[in-house]
Amino acid sequence: MSSNKNIPTIILGLVVSLFLFGNNLNAKTILWESGSNLFIKLAKQDKSASGKTPPNSHPVTLNEKDVGDALLLLELWDKDYYEEGMAERVFTVEMARLLGEHISAGLKIADTKEDITFAVVGRKGGMLGSYDTVYTAGRAFYLDGSLNLILGDWDRSPDKGKEVAYAGTATEKPKYVFTLGKRRKPSKMLDKSILTVEGIENIKVKGKTRKDWFKFDLEKTKLAVIASKEKKRRSSKEYKQEKLLKDEAAKLAKERREIRLEMARMRKEMEASMKPDSLSTEERLQKLQVLKEKNLISDEEYDKKRADILNDI
């Protein structure tokens, strides 16, 4: 009889345990979220085209700034040929920083069978100085020494019809279903070429380039970031002005050296031509006067040399 009385207590204990376990699982799974649509979280690996997905190299410790900087280097273009300025960043600065922070944090606790999936939002420049809201979604994982990123949705615009319908309601934002990127097949939304950057390349699957799948060598992208910053610094107005001043100063210093050398050469020639065996006393005095008038010798030098010439008479 007493055992039956304990049944409600046991059930209650199980419910509490499940609740606490569920909360702990959720706390581990959700790395970041905002509203009903935006998130960065741990998720199970998806299946590869072969049906056998290789285990990820997790857990791994990555520097969040290195990850964010690498994502910021990712640029795409869709023309037949590339010209300077045609590429477009995949992630805004805010998106790259957010992903860098939480991807690096997630990879520290992820196991070999987990990926990080994400859906983030950003604002990009539109027409006539306006800004457009765009969604980007995908998955990230670390494998064989490289950070992998598969994009599903990129530059996805909000559904204006749904946005209007939900305006003023308690929900405020409609619930979106994002494409998170898949190992087994490429995204239909991404068919652009990657801008060549040291440390970033597209993955090839069965000999075909996956334009939605990127591999990052973070050691190389760190060097690419340094090179990019130096290039930007050299193209700035301040750098160009500073370089112009340095070039002018170097040019002036060179001209001064050349003048000093030329003056020394002329002085030597004049002195040689004024030797007693080559010129008369009058000619030597005239040459000496020319040197003084051209400021090639000082008054003291002039007086001493003049006295020497007169002493030779």
Confidence of residue 222 (pLDDT cuts 50, 70, 90): very high
Q: Which two tokens stand for residue 267?
A: 């002085």
pLDDT at 223: 95
Q: Global pTM?
A: 0.67
Average pLDDT, the chain: 83
Domain ranges across the chain: 1-30, 35-235, 239-311
pLDDT at 239: 66
In the chain, % of residues over pLDDT 90: 42
Tell me which long-range contacts 280-285 makes (C-beta under 8 A, separation of at least 24): 281/309, 281/310, 281/312, 281/313, 284/309, 285/309
How far is 213 from 8, CA to CA, in rounded Å? 53
Higher pLDDT, 81 or 150: 150
pLDDT at 46: 95
pLDDT at 16: 43
pLDDT at 289: 86
Angle between helices 237-273 and 281-293 (to 10 degrees): 170
Confidence of residue 219 (pLDDT cuts 50, 70, 90): very high
How far is 165 from 168, CA to CA, in rounded Å? 8
- Match 């020639």 to its residue by tokens: 269
pLDDT at 251: 87
pLDDT at 27: 45
pLDDT at 25: 42
Q: On the CB side of 77, how many CA atoms lie within 13 Å of its CA?
A: 11
pLDDT in tens, 261-277: 888 887 777 666 656 55
Confidence of residue 236 (pLDDT cuts 50, 70, 90): confident
Q: Which two tokens stand for residue 307?
A: 């006295």
In the chain, the largest separation of any two C-alpha atoms, in whole Å, equals: 148
Single out the residue of 157, 210, 217 nearest to residue 182, CA to CA: 210
In this predicted structure, the answer to whether residue 38 has a pLDDT above a threshold of 90 is yes
pLDDT in tens, 168-210: 555 567 889 999 999 999 998 888 888 889 999 999 998 899 9
In this predicted structure, the answer to whether residue 82 has a pLDDT above a threshold of 90 is no
